[in-house]
Structure 1
Amino acid sequence: MYIPAHFAAGPEATRHLLTSPGAANLITMTDAGLLATLLPFVFEPDVGEYGALHAHVARNNPQATAPVTGEALAIIQGPDAYISPSWYMSKAEHGRVVPTWNYSTAHVYGELVVHDDAGWLARHVRRLTDRHEGEREHPWSVDDAPAKFIAGQLRAIVGIELMITRIEAKEKLSQNRSAADASGVVAGLRSSGQEASAAAVERVLAQQTPES
C-alpha cells in the first residue's frame, strides 16, 4: 500500500481498525486465480506473534478448500467519505482546492489456516456474536437457539484463521490540510450525516492541536 508519512496510521489507530466491529475482504491467490470473500471477523491479539483474525465461511465456498499460494490478505475498511472543496476555508482565500476522499484502512497479511472443528467453530461463533450483541438492550445469545439447530449450522461452515505476519495501515483524514480546513471538513461531514467520518477527522485534528 502506498502510505505517505503524514497518512501513516499509528499503533493506536491500527488497533482501532482491528478491534472495531466490522468485516474484512479476505483475498487469496489460488490455482483458480484470486478469490475474495467479505467476512465479519474477530481480532485475537493473543494468538501468534502479531495476533490473528478469526472468521468463518460457508463450507461450499471455494475459498475454504482452494490451496493458497503465498500470503493471504484481509482488507479492513474504516469510515470513508467524499470531501468537498467547498468545506475548506482556503477555498475563499485562494480557490486552489480540489475534491478528495477521506478513508482509513488496514491491509493485514498472514498465513491462512482452515479449522474444520466443531469446538473451534462454536467458540468463534460465540465470540463473534457477543461482540455484536453485547451492548444491545436485549442481546441475542447462541444459547437462545436449539442446540440441535446450532450444531447443524456449525456443520455448514468452516473456520478461517489469518495468522498475522505484517500490517500496513493508513489514515487519510485531512492531516495535510490546515486546522481551519480540517474543521470545515468536520462540519461538512456532520451536516451531511456522516458522523463516523466526522469523528475520525476530529480525532486526528485533536491529536495535531497543541495543548494550550
Structure 2
Amino acid sequence: MYCPPAFREEELPALHDLMRAVRLANVVTSGTSGLHASPLPLFLDETDGPYGALYGHLARANEQWKDTPTGEALAIFMGSDAYVTPSWYASKKEHGKVVPTWNYTVVQARGPIEFFEDEGRLRGVVERLTSLHEAGRPEIWSVSDAPEKFIKGQLRGIVGLRLAITSLEGKRKMSQNRSAADRAGVAAGLSASARPGERLAAAEIPQG
C-alpha cells in the first residue's frame, strides 16, 4: 500500500483500534483459480501472537476456503472515508492551487491463513463474534437462545478461519498535510454533510 510518511500509522494500539472499529473486513486470498475476496465480520485476538490474530467464518459453500492453499492472506479494514472538495479550503481563495482528494483510514493485515471445521472451535468463534456485536443492545441475543439442534445444523454450514498476523500497515489520510485553516474548512464541510459516514470522518480531522 502506498503510504507517504505524513499518513503512516505505526503504533500497534492505534492499528488495533482502527481494526476493531471496522465491523466488516475484506479477506483476500490467492488460489488455484485466481484471487478470492470475501467481506467477513472478524474479531481480533490481541493475545494471539506479536500482532494478534483474526478469527471469523465463511459459508461452507464459499469456494474461497476450498481453493486456498496454506499461504498468506490479506485482510483489509476500511474505516471512515469522505470526498474532499477544494471549495472547503481556505487556500482556494488565496491562490487557487488546490485539487479534490479523498480522506480515509485503512489497515491491511497480512499473514498465513488456516480454515478449520472443528465444531467446538467453530462454535467458540461464533459465540465470540455474536457477543461482540450484540454488546450494548437493549435486548441481547446469544447463541444459547436458539435450540441446540438448530445451532449444530448451522455450524455444519460454515467453516472457521484464523489469520495469524505477521505484518500490519496502517494509513490515516485525514488532511494532515493541509494548513490549520484548510483542515478547519474540511471539518466544517464534512460536519454539515447529509451522509453519516462523512460526519464521522469530520471528527477525525486533526485541528489546531
Normalising TM by the smaller chain, what interval? over 0.9
Deviation string 1:39-62 (CA, Å, 9 cap, x unpaired) is 110011111232111010001111
- Supply the AA of the counterpart residue of 2:8: A
- Supply the AA of the counterpart residue of 1:20: A
Q: Is 1:24 aligned with 2:25?
A: yes
Distance 1:184 1:28, change over 3 A: same
Counterpart CA distance in 1 for 2:2 and 2:25 is 19
- Supply the AA of the counterpart residue of 2:107: A
Structure 1 segments unaligned to the other structure (5+ residues):
none
**Partner residue, 2:39:** 38
Q: CA deviation at 1:120?
A: 1.1
**Partner residue, 1:189:** 190
Q: CA RMSD in A?
A: 1.3
- Supply the AA of the counterpart residue of 2:2: Y
Percent identity between the two aligned chains: 49
State the TM-score, normalizing by the size of structure 1: 0.92
Contact kept in structure 1, 2:10 and 2:169, CA below 8 Å: no
Contact kept in structure 2, 1:29 and 1:69, CA below 8 Å: no
Q: Is 1:6 aligned with 2:6?
A: yes
Mapping for residues 164-183 of structure 1, pairs under 5 Å: 164-183=165-184
Counterpart CA distance in 2 for 1:180 and 1:69 is 50
Contact kept in structure 2, 1:56 and 1:160, CA below 8 Å: yes
State the TM-score, normalizing by the size of structure 2: 0.93
Residue 37 of structure 1 aligns to a residue whose secondary structure is strand
Q: CA deviation at 1:69?
A: 6.3
Structure 2 segments unaligned to the other structure (5+ residues):
none
**Partner residue, 2:150:** 149
Contact kept in structure 1, 2:70 and 2:113, CA below 8 Å: no
Deviation string 1:55-81 (CA, Å, 9 cap, x unpaired) is 100011111122336411111100111
Contact kept in structure 2, 1:21 and 1:131, CA below 8 Å: no
Contact kept in structure 2, 1:88 and 1:182, CA below 8 Å: yes
Deviation string 1:158-207 (CA, Å, 9 cap, x unpaired) is 10110111011111110000111111111111100322111122xxx15x
Deviation string 1:72-110 (CA, Å, 9 cap, x unpaired) is 111110011100111111111111111100011111100
Q: CA deviation at 1:10?
A: 3.4
Q: Is 1:95 aligned with 2:96?
A: yes
Q: CA deviation at 1:140?
A: 1.6
Counterpart CA distance in 1 for 2:16 and 2:172 is 12
Residue 67 of structure 2 aligns to a residue whose secondary structure is coil
- Supply the AA of the counterpart residue of 2:43: V
Residue 77 of structure 1 aligns to a residue whose secondary structure is strand
Contact kept in structure 2, 1:113 and 1:160, CA below 8 Å: yes
- Supply the AA of the counterpart residue of 2:26: N
